[in-house]
Amino acid sequence: MQLLKKLMVEEDGQGLVEYALIVLLVVFVFWVTIKNTNIGNQLSASWSNIGSCLAAPATCTS
């Protein structure tokens, strides 16, 4: 019970969680901004090509 009380009072990991949420927010805004642009379409095609190459390396051309 003492450990549970101690964990609820301490704030050591709070900074890490806040930074993780900020990074998540920045990535989300970046994704929403880029997803329907020409760059987003090219990135999507590139990731699809990478997935295909990983699935069947012998058939990968580039």
pTM for the full predicted model: 0.51
Q: In this structure, which long-range contacts are made by residues 16-25, counting pairs with CB atoms below 8 Å and at least 24 apart in sequence?
A: none
CA distance 42 to 40: 5
Residues of the chain with pLDDT under 50: none
Predicted pLDDT at 12: 67
Over residues 34-43, the pLDDT tens digits come to 888 898 889 8
